[in-house]
Chains A and B, each alone.
Chain A
Amino acid sequence: MKKISKFTVDYLGYVVKGSPKFYGWVAFLSMFILVWVYGNYMQLTEGMIITGLTDQVSWGIYLANFVFLVGVAAGAVTVVFPAYVYKHKAMHEVTVLGEMLAIAAVVMCLLFVIMHMGRPDRLWHILPVIGIFNWPHAILTWDVLVLNGYLVLNLIGGFYYLYKKYCHEELNKKFYLPVIYIAIVWALSIHTVTAFLLNTMPARPMWHTGMMPIRFITTAFAAGPSLIIIVFLIVRNNTRMMIKDEAINLLSQIVVWCLGIALFLTLSEVVTELYHPTEHSMGLQYLMFGYHGLNNLVPWFWGSLVAMVSGFILLLIPSIRKNYKLLPWICAMIFLGIWVEKGMGLLIPGSIPTPIGEITQYSPTFLEIANSLGNWAIGFLVLTILLKGAIGILLGDISYAKTEGGK
């Protein structure tokens, strides 16, 4: 017990102290969070009317970010899986960083989904036992289960590992390994269930395709590791933590192949839908070409396609893939490309046209964007703190022996 409280104190003491760079970064994020506070106040008092959503397009960027971030959370498995299934040594050393990323991403998911709700004050209605949990019928209840389960698994896996490191004790493999293996399978489930959330609605023909879950998983395994590569390179350049080249090289290979498959699936879908377009492919047509001058989404679609295709081609070239000056920029481009693809390229056009054939354009309001940016800022703050603490422990900056010995 004493050890645990010591761990908590040391951990917290460590993560709040840092270089001017660290404080600068935190201050930068806090700016967004301040606007977020105002935006949330407005949304809670006035209602969802402060958003650009309508009865026609009633799911917007909150849910789009949610769907994307579920992918990022699942993407963390690209670190854990090679480490434990293929015993990849370089990856094994940094597994816990992947878990920290997963935690931060799930936190953002939860923020976004709560923000999407018209009555967040009634959140307790969906809790099992005290509320009514429409399980197994409603896919959203599955999503609640898998996301929270994933959060818990990563919290346990990650912090158990860190705690044992802190104490310089051996891991109890009988406890730890099952958690890791369950988390690996679980990661697939979160994005699969999120895909089912959309594609089980025949009322929305654009989403009603069996290809959705696998497309989600491939894009997740491209976007997730892209972010991880960026984070790893930042960590390498700013801390004493040495992340080996092999780890980064493996990740960039995963990105390139998953991205390739994702693009192939997109192509298959476009050909299937547009060779002989039916009414059901209106959403895709609207997305790609617009309709009678209504073309809000057209630049987003093509922009994201260009980003994904060029990212794929560039990363196919080994010399570019191993150039760590260029790599983070390409990864950022892929990450943004997939973010657009999930939001403006999938979630929003799913509601256009409406089931009765009305084309309504949607553009998020300032407050809606501010709230979304705020959620991202909170997520990055959580991520920064989690990574900082984890790295401190991995480097031995904080350990039980050290604080005890210092006395």
Chain B
Amino acid sequence: MTNKKIPVTQPADQSSCSCSDAQANPACEMPDDNVSESRRGFMKDVGGLSVASLMGTAALLTNSDEAQANTEWAEWFQGNYRLMTDEEKARAVARLERRYSSEYGKKVTVDTTPAQDGVLFGYALNIQKCIGCRRCVKACVQENNQSRGEREIEWIRVLKMEKGDFSVGKMKDGYPGDFGIQVGGNAYSASGVVLEGEHYYEPEKVPDADAFYMPIACMQCEKPPCVKVCPVRTTYREPDGPVVVDYNWCIGCRMCIGACPYWARRFNWGKPNLPKEEMNPNTHYLGNRPRMKGVVEKCTFCIQRTRKGRYPACVEVCPVGARKFGNLLDPNSEVRQILAKKRVFRLKAEMNTYPKFFYFID
């Protein structure tokens, strides 16, 4: 197998970042996250969903014209993407393009570019550099046509980790009083939370001096538990690495959500809310094409971009160049260089899922 170098444009580095506000104060436009909980035992109470959002869907449903209904009906009979012949794929894509174009009022393309030989995508993230600005989160939502507003779906979550869990100032908190025996040391922070990260933080400014940040998303495991449990094989690993979902084949059983150790999968609980003007018309069948209600979705390493030699949206937008992407089979790629030279680790390596998403520090 020849190790091809994937044709990429300029690496998005902190100095040559495409977004103009890179050097500006990263806090200038904090993406708003509607939940703020300062206490450690954070939670999001999602008990009641507003009636308004339900009515919104009803309105959307009635909009569908007959042509669209027909294509949807034909879609119902279509087979699993992997098993389709080329003609079947072409037909399915034409159908989808027709439906999406009429639904979003613009020319939408659904790409089917396959994996290239000699390419295995990998990702490396510098946690030393990440400032927690969450631009990657927002860029991802825009690029990948996730649901917006009240039903916002985010594939990337940035965990804010507090520094000083072992600070001398807090030492006294750790000693249990009455027994006269030290049983707890100064482990006053509950060892409980699996990762001591909080992803609903809403600071005035980032980075917070008392914190560091650890973004997570799908790790594109080489041995993905989510794939193993899927009863209909609708989610699977592509030859160039990303784990993808055929949204038209998913039965919505959410076994994969249970099996993923990284909480990387999202479910479309209702009809996704994707405004026409914000819809990204350059889509891939296995990537960012609009989803329907009742199916699972996740990060695909921006398959619609990376198979065409572009960087994922998150890599491009990161103002500090914390995110690196490339071909793991190419010894000269940036990711391979990082793996060779930096201090690298994988999150929850004990799970033995072999992520192709690495963390590193300089």
The chain A residues found within 8 Å of chain B, CB to CB, are: 45-56, 58-59, 116-123, 125-126, 131-134, 137-141, 144, 198, 200-204, 277-279, 282, 285, 291-294, 350-351, 353-361, 363, 365
B231–A278 CB distance below 8 A: no
Identify which of residues 74-109 in chain B touch chain A, using a CB-to-CB cut-off of 8 Å.
Answer: 76, 80, 83
A140–B260 CB distance below 8 A: no
Q: Specify which chain B residues have a CB less than 8 angstroms from the CB of A131 in the assembled complex.
A: 232
* B346 contacts the other chain (CB 8 A): no
User: When A47-B293, A279-B192 are in contact, do A202 and B199 touch as well, CB less than 8 Å?
Assistant: no
A47–B269 CB distance below 8 A: yes
The 9 tightest CB contacts between A and B, nearest first, are: A118-B252, A118-B294, A292-B41, A49-B270, A357-B194, A357-B193, A203-B261, A47-B293, A140-B231
* B341 contacts the other chain (CB 8 A): no
B270–A46 CB distance below 8 A: yes
| Interface 1/0 per residue, B172-208 and A, CB below 8 Å | 0000000000000000001111111101000000000
* B262 contacts the other chain (CB 8 A): yes
* B284 contacts the other chain (CB 8 A): no
Stretch at the interface among B11-19, B53-61, B126-134, B304-312: B53-61
A353–B194 CB distance below 8 A: yes
Smallest CB-CB separation from B250: which chain A residue? Answer: A119
A52–B259 CB distance below 8 A: no
A–B complex contacts, Cβ < 8 Å, 26 sampled: A45-B58, A46-B270, A48-B252, A48-B269, A49-B54, A49-B270, A53-B269, A54-B44, A55-B267, A56-B46, A56-B263, A59-B254, A59-B258, A120-B251, A121-B76, A122-B252, A126-B232, A132-B232, A138-B228, A140-B231, A203-B225, A279-B192, A279-B194, A350-B258, A358-B44, A358-B193
User: When A46-B54, A125-B234, A201-B225 are in contact, do A358 and B42 touch as well, CB less than 8 Å?
Assistant: yes
User: When A47-B271, A48-B267 are in contact, do A293 and B41 touch as well, CB less than 8 Å?
Assistant: yes
CB < 8 Å neighbour of B191 from A117, A140, A278: A278
* B69 contacts the other chain (CB 8 A): no
* B268 contacts the other chain (CB 8 A): yes
Chain A binding surface, main DSSP class: loop
Smallest CB-CB separation from A51: which chain B residue? Answer: B269
Q: Specify which chain B residues have a CB less than 8 angstroms from the CB of A51 in the assembled complex.
A: 269
* B361 contacts the other chain (CB 8 A): no
* B229 contacts the other chain (CB 8 A): yes
B257–A292 CB distance below 8 A: no
A134–B42 CB distance below 8 A: no
CB < 8 Å neighbour of B46 from A54, A122, A203, A293: A54
Q: Specify which chain A residues have a CB less than 8 angstroms from the CB of B269 in the assembled complex.
A: 47-49, 51, 53-54
Q: How far is the CB of A195 from chain B (nearest CB, A)?
A: 14
Bound together, the chains give a CA A363 to CA B268 distance in angstroms of 19
Q: Specify which chain A residues have a CB less than 8 angstroms from the CB of B43 in the assembled complex.
A: 294, 358-361
Bound together, the chains give a CA A132 to CA B193 distance in angstroms of 38
Q: Specify which chain B residues have a CB less than 8 angstroms from the CB of A126 in the assembled complex.
A: 231-232, 251
Bound together, the chains give a CA A140 to CA B230 distance in angstroms of 8
Smallest CB-CB separation from B61: which chain A residue? Answer: A45
* B45 contacts the other chain (CB 8 A): yes
* B40 contacts the other chain (CB 8 A): yes
Q: Specify which chain A residues have a CB less than 8 angstroms from the CB of B46 in the assembled complex.
A: 52, 54, 56, 360
| Interface 1/0 per residue, B223-244 and A, CB below 8 Å | 0010011111110000000000
User: When A119-B295, A134-B230, A356-B262 are in contact, do A46 and B254 touch as well, CB less than 8 Å?
Assistant: no
User: When A117-B251, A123-B251, A201-B258 are in contact, do A361 and B45 touch as well, CB less than 8 Å?
Assistant: yes
* B255 contacts the other chain (CB 8 A): yes
Q: Specify which chain A residues have a CB less than 8 angstroms from the CB of B263 in the assembled complex.
A: 55-56, 354-356, 358
Bound together, the chains give a CA A118 to CA B251 distance in angstroms of 6
Q: How far is the CB of A226 from chain B (nearest CB, A)?
A: 29
* B47 contacts the other chain (CB 8 A): yes
Q: Specify which chain B residues have a CB less than 8 angstroms from the CB of A139 in the assembled complex.
A: 229
* B30 contacts the other chain (CB 8 A): no
Bound together, the chains give a CA A121 to CA B75 distance in angstroms of 12
* B211 contacts the other chain (CB 8 A): no
* B249 contacts the other chain (CB 8 A): yes
* B160 contacts the other chain (CB 8 A): no
Identify which of residues 255-281 in chain B touch chain A, using a CB-to-CB cut-off of 8 Å.
Answer: 255, 257-263, 265-271
A138–B267 CB distance below 8 A: no
Smallest CB-CB separation from A351: which chain B residue? Answer: B258
Q: Specify which chain B residues have a CB less than 8 angstroms from the CB of A121 in the assembled complex.
A: 76
* B52 contacts the other chain (CB 8 A): no
CB < 8 Å neighbour of B267 from A50, A58, A285: A58
